[in-house]
Amino acid sequence: MELILGIETSCDETAAALLDENRRVIASTMHSQVDLHARYGGVVPEIAGRSHVETILPVLEEVFEKAGVRPRDVGSVAVTFCPGLIGSLLVGVSCAKAFAAAQRIPLIPVNHVEAHVYSCFHEHEEVTLPAACLVVSGGHTSLYWVESLTRYECVGRTIDDAAGEAFDKVAALLDLPYPGGPVIDRLAKEGDPRAISFPRSMLGPTSLDFSFSGLKTAVLYHCRGPKGKEPREISEQETRDIAASFQEAVIDVLLKKMLRLVESREAKSLALGGGVAANGRLRERAQALADQRRLPLYLAPRALTTDNAVMVAGLGRLLYDVGVRGDLALDATPHGITCLPS
Ligand code: KG4
Ligand code: ZN
């Protein structure tokens, strides 16, 4: 059996996975640092990097133990090398290089956001393409044109905050715990999405880019007055209404941009991945859009929405098949560099 090992350390999750040559998951482990960062209301890069150093070997040991295999059963190793926090990425990349050198096996570089794109299709034997794919997470909000499982083109991205970051910041403003996305998701279910009319920034009639900083500021002014410095009492019901109205504004923009891409290039399917793709209302409205357009929707399975190594090993396996290889000179980089074949 020729296994592929995937390693993911781009932000605050330390993850490893073992997949077989058909991309079936043999074992997967993930250690989240969320408790370490919660009191700061966001990921602290220094703390993240140090925690990966402590956790990476136990996470690897655990994945081998779960799978009941040994390192010598692995035929290749895929690793996230960009984009992300440099101190975090370095830990995974160094570890993968050491593993590849020790076992004398190929090393495959994987772009984290491209792995999120892949995650939408991971559980499907056959997919209808081209797809308009939205990756929405704490660090990224991007639209991709997916021609094949190894050909993606990034056609839109955020010019300021990522959607998940906006969820986290609005939650902090409402004195809700970190990470804010799941809490807002839950509260919004009992709120009125039409209670407050927050702005929807479209950046012009044809743009596929995103901007969420204006929306974030609008929520700040709504809660703390026109200068953002006059906190007032906000009732539980108003908190739910703000959560629902904010969430609806984010989703309106995300889906409108997706629809622009669908219409301008005649997409044959839709896809949705990344941490924010766990959002119940976003999943529901994306499904309604797909049904209305009679297009298949590929939703990342919930377990693969947050950062994980299954998506890294899965895309790594496809890249291996088309000849993508890294070597010991592979460097981690915070920037997004594609490693798909041109
Ligand atoms: O993909 P991910 O684990 O990390 C990055 O690559 O950034 O995404 C984490 C982000 C956080 O901002 C979190 O608040 C958001 O995803 N998130 C959600 C939900 N679950 C997680 N946002 C909205 N609704 C959710 N249910
Ligand atoms: Zn991610």
Q: What is the pLDDT of residues 111-156, one digit of tens each?
A: 999 999 999 999 999 999 999 999 999 989 999 999 999 999 999 9
For ligand 1, atom 10, the nearest C-alpha belongs to 138
- pLDDT reading at 23 higher than 70: yes
Please tell me the distance between residue 109's alpha carbon and the centre of ligand 1 in angstroms: 24
Question: Mean pLDDT across the stretch 166-192?
Answer: 96
The angle, 0 to 180 degrees and rounded to 10, between the axes of the packed helices 236-265 and 163-173 is 170
CA of 179 to the centre of ligand 1 (A): 7
pLDDT of residue 42: 87
Report which ligand 1 atom has the smallest distance to the Cα of 112.
6
Residues with CB under 6 A from ligand 1: 11, 137-139, 164, 167-168, 179-182, 185, 274-276, 278-279, 306-307
Ligand 1 atom at shortest distance from the alpha carbon of 10: 6
CB 140, CB 158: distance < 8 Å:
yes
Residue nearest to atom 13 of ligand 1 (CA): 181
β 269-273/297-299 pair status: parallel
Q: Is it the case that residue 1 has pLDDT exceeding 80?
A: no
> Nearest residue CA, atom 3 of ligand 1?
306
Percent of the chain with pLDDT over 90: 93
Which residue carries 């990034």 as its tokens?
A: 154
Inform me whether the pLDDT recorded for 262 exceeds 80. yes
Nearest-atom number in ligand 1 for the CA of 274 is 1
Extract the tokens encoding 114: 């491209």
User: Hey, is 7 helix, strand or coil?
Assistant: strand
| The pLDDT value given to residue 227 | 84
The pTM of this model reads 0.96
- pLDDT digit string, tens, across residues 316-328: 999 999 999 999 9
Which of the ligands is closest to the CA of residue 180? 1
| Averaged pLDDT of the chain | 96
The amino acid sitting at 142 is S
pLDDT at 331: 96
41 pLDDT exceeds 90?
no
Rounded Cα–Cα distance for residues 333 and 286 (Å)? 32
**Given this model, what pLDDT does residue 244 score?**
98
CB 10 within 8 A of CB 83: yes
pLDDT band at 103 (very low <50, low <70, confident <90, very high): very high
Surrounding ion ligand 2 within 5 Å at CB are: 137, 307
Q: What spacing in Å lies between the alpha carbon of 136 and ligand 1's midpoint?
A: 8
Residue 226: per-residue pLDDT: 85
pLDDT in tens, 264-291: 999 999 999 999 999 999 999 999 999 9
Please give the distance, rounded to the nearest whole angstrom, from the Cα atom of residue 140 to the centre of ligand 1. Answer: 10
pLDDT tier at 17 (50, 70, 90 boundaries)? very high
Q: What is the pLDDT of residue 145?
A: 98
pLDDT of 37 strictly over 70: yes
Ligand 1 mutation pick, 85, 248, 306, max ligand atoms within 8 A of CB: 306
**Closest to 76 (Cα-Cα) out of 307, 333, 339, 325:** 325
Token pair for 140: 């990224």
Least confident of 197-201, 235-239, 279-283, 334-338: 334-338
DSSP states along 282-312: HHHHHHHHHHHHT--EEEPPGGGTSS-SHHH
Distance 307 CA to ligand 2 centre (A): 5
